[in-house]
Structure 1
Amino acid sequence: MEPGSTGQRWPERHDGGLRSLVRELGPFTAFLAWLWLETVKQAHDRPSFQVPVFTLAAVYSVAFLAAAGWGQLLRPLGRIAVVAGLFVLGLTFPVLFGRPELLTLLAYGITASVVLLPLRAAQWLGFTAALALLGSTALVRGAPDWSDTLLVGLLTMGIVSATQLTRANAQLRAARERVRELAVTEERGRVARDLHDLLGHSLTTITLKTGLARRMLEGGKDGALDEVREVEVLSRQALAEVRATVTDFRRTSLAAELAGVRAALGSAGIKLVAPHAVDDVEVRLQQPFAFVVREAVTNVIRHSGATRCEIRLGPNWVEVTDDGTAASAQATATVRGNGLSGLAERLAAVGGRVDVGPVPDGGFVVRASVD
């Protein structure tokens, strides 16, 4: 998960077009049912207030949906202004009807603050609204309204938690797609270079030898058959090299994985410390170690809440360490029970093992080694 998603970072908009916008606004639209139920109730109790209350509810609804759907296009000051406007509209209900418990309608402003502001700021706004509700009901009624206050507090925590999960999932999907794209691009470039190096030399030699054989045949000189035989050998060698290169292209590359996770962690706001070359790793171990790096980094992004990740390589070992907070016994068991269990089987096939667990100074480590 991106560290900023739980702290001071401003949320970004991931625009997926009109269909994505409609899908995003669906839950917010359903959430407005509470507002309109309360509006109808107040209009029924006070018929003289029907026009202002329905007008206020309509303005509040439109402002809320606009903030949820398009507010992230604004700069920080604009977002703050939108959230402030929603809070002012929400405060109008308890003032208009003289009912402090209607401060619960500030939930729409709190929801907008979660969408538009850093989550820490949204949390403070939510808890401030809960305290305001508690104090105002105590002043007006002589006793605090704990049920509505608890409702606002729980609502704030629920919205913040759901938003954290949604953002983390979006970041994970984007990171996976980025890793895939970079791995494919890197492999294509590597194969292009390999084919150029292999075929460039072989085809040049074949061209020279076939030209020499032709001239020998034209001049009636001996040795043309030997040159043709050498051309045949070179052609077979070149074909074998091409097949080996294509076969290797179909495998996971450790170098490509390092390039991919570097971009993925960067886009997730996690600092990466890792080597740029994999020459020290035994060739036979590079493919299984690539899977270790991929799975471990995926878990760093998904579970850890880390700000830093380090990848270390040796001839027969690889280690991925993060400084996250998911190193509890329960997290260790959960992670081991999922993707990393498959890595243990891969490493066992080459005589190795995978060890996972917490780091003494805090964090989590995945280490694969082959004896």
Structure 2
Amino acid sequence: MTATSPTTGPAPAGPASARAGLRQTNVPGMHTYGPGMPRPSRFFQRGFGWLLGAVWLFYLGQPLGTILDRPNGFAKWFSLAALVAFGLSYILVFLWTRRVHMQQRQPPLREGLAWLGATLALGLAMIPGAGGDWMVGLVYIAASAIMVLPPRAAVPVVAVVAAQPLLLPMFVPSWRHESGLFFSIVLAAFAMFGVTRMIDHNMRLTAANKEIARLAVAEERARAARDLHDILGHSLTVIAIKAELAGRLLPVAPERAEAEVNDLEKLARQALADIRRTVGAYREVCLDEELASARSALSAAGIEARLPVSVADIPEPRGTLFGWAIREGVTNVVRHSGATRCVITVRPDQVEIADNGRGPVASEGGGSGLRGLRERASAHGAQLSVGRAEGSGFVLRVSVPA
């Protein structure tokens, strides 16, 4: 018996323990098996911001005690309500600023000034019940200024706010001179500056990690596309030429046609194996194998091949790079050149593929194959040169600095 979900269709019945590994998704007809992905703690999503903002409210204990010691009356309850609203306003400013910084934005100046003005107004509203102790709220005003204002504007605001505990008692004799409060305001401003910078740096680090991951995926896709182009382009070109040759030989030389067909089967299997190795990121090129493959491809195309006998002294990874160059060069000769002769020269620091055909006109960008080969050469610190050979024909050369 099965149960039906409106979004995922029939779901397997059975004991709850057997269904515990089944996590339904919102994709019709799809079930995801295995343990569910852990979700972020709701405390760290929401509660942490409240806790981090509220932990600083202990400074308000001084004006709170003063207000509670006053006799009942309008001044007491009005100031008490203003103090509660002041603390709540500070927490909301902190949460708002934290969210803005996490979105990698700067707090809008107009909204920041509005928050700062509202917090200051609520602080002044504590005066009827708290008297001079309301100046403790200046700690939060300075911290809020650091949060909501650009640094150039926040610094003078903090300086003005920090001076008030030293200046206001000169005009209101009943208020005590608070030199310690001056240092508390300065320290709170520095602490909040560090918090905001830490949030900014964490967000930038997160964004940088995402960009690195995106570039890594893009690079891997480019590598896979380059390898598939090089493998399929060469293999399919040789297969097409051999198939054409086998078709021409079939009426006049069945034995040779049969040999070409056998070669077609081997090439097809080899191409399939190459694709599988490429998908598995195991694709490597052997210089000796590429030379043998080039000889076979050129011979099938009716092109005289002049290739080196031995390349045993070519070290890796240079040999792999030269193998890719020979593969791309021979593919271009067979496809585009119309040549009757191809000469491949391999030296410890250079490989060159030249033909006597018409050759393509080298463009700045080149095709996908030349572009891929240029990327490979650049990764090895080598130089790729393409163009017309002396007299006629086309030449492709990869040179590695000594």
Matched-pair contact (CA < 8 Å) for 1:206–1:235: no
Change in CA separation of 1:54 and 1:64 when aligned onto 2, cut-off 3 Å = same
1:236 to 2:270 alignment: yes
List runs of 5+ in structure 1 lacking aligned partners. Answer: 1-15, 250-276, 286-314, 317-370
Aligned residue for 1:182?
Answer: 215
Cα distance, 1:283 vs. partner? Answer: 1.0
AA at the equivalent of 1:47: P
Change in CA separation of 1:214 and 1:107 when aligned onto 2, cut-off 3 Å = farther
| 1:31 maps to which of 52, 56, 67 | 56
1:1-371 to structure 2, matched below 5 A, reads 20-35=45-60, 37-48=61-72, 49-70=75-96, 72=100, 75-94=108-127, 96-99=129-132, 101-141=133-173, 144-207=177-240, 209-210=242-243, 213=246, 221-231=254-264, 232-233=266-267, 235-236=269-270, 239-240=273-274, 243=277, 246-247=281-282, 283=380
CA distance in 1, matches of 2:117, 2:82: 16
CA distance in 2, matches of 1:218, 1:33: 100
CA distance in 2, matches of 1:165, 1:248: 44
CA distance in 2, matches of 1:27, 1:176: 26
Q: Which has the higher helix share?
A: 1
Partner SS state of residue 125, structure 2: helix
Partner SS state of residue 47, structure 1: coil
List runs of 5+ in structure 2 lacking aligned partners. Answer: 1-40, 285-373, 383-399
Change in CA separation of 1:17 and 1:128 when aligned onto 2, cut-off 3 Å = farther
Matched-pair contact (CA < 8 Å) for 1:39–1:54: no
AA at the equivalent of 2:197: Q
Matched-pair contact (CA < 8 Å) for 1:131–1:149: yes
Change in CA separation of 1:110 and 1:50 when aligned onto 2, cut-off 3 Å = same
* TM-score relative to the length of structure 2: 0.50
Partner SS state of residue 81, structure 2: helix
Q: What are the superposed Cα offsets for residues 31-79 of structure 1, whole Å, 9 maximum, x if unpaired?
A: 23432x2353123211334311221122213322332223549742122
Cα distance, 1:149 vs. partner? Answer: 0.8
AA at the equivalent of 1:203: L
Count the aligned residue pairs: 244
Cα distance, 1:122 vs. partner? Answer: 2.5
Matched-pair contact (CA < 8 Å) for 1:91–1:106: no
Matched-pair contact (CA < 8 Å) for 2:126–2:134: yes
Change in CA separation of 1:53 and 1:96 when aligned onto 2, cut-off 3 Å = closer
Matched-pair contact (CA < 8 Å) for 1:209–1:227: yes
Aligned residue for 1:274?
Answer: none
Structure with higher Rg: it is 2
AA at the equivalent of 1:177: K
Aligned-residue sequence identity (percent) comes to: 23
Change in CA separation of 1:217 and 1:184 when aligned onto 2, cut-off 3 Å = same
Cα distance, 1:220 vs. partner? Answer: 7.6
Matched-pair contact (CA < 8 Å) for 1:213–1:227: yes
CA distance in 2, matches of 1:248, 1:32: 62
* TM-score relative to the length of structure 1: 0.54
Matched-pair contact (CA < 8 Å) for 1:93–1:103: no
CA distance in 2, matches of 1:145, 1:282: 66
CA distance in 2, matches of 1:123, 1:183: 41
Change in CA separation of 1:47 and 1:229 when aligned onto 2, cut-off 3 Å = farther
CA distance in 1, matches of 2:204, 2:190: 21
Cα distance, 1:91 vs. partner? Answer: 2.9
AA at the equivalent of 1:105: G
CA distance in 1, matches of 2:182, 2:210: 42
CA distance in 1, matches of 2:111, 2:147: 13
Change in CA separation of 1:247 and 1:137 when aligned onto 2, cut-off 3 Å = farther
Change in CA separation of 1:110 and 1:20 when aligned onto 2, cut-off 3 Å = farther
Matched-pair contact (CA < 8 Å) for 1:79–1:117: yes
CA distance in 1, matches of 2:271, 2:210: 37
Change in CA separation of 1:176 and 1:193 when aligned onto 2, cut-off 3 Å = same
AA at the equivalent of 1:114: I
Cα distance, 1:227 vs. partner? Answer: 1.3
Matched-pair contact (CA < 8 Å) for 1:107–1:152: yes
CA distance in 2, matches of 1:220, 1:65: 91
Superposition CA RMSD, Å: 3.9
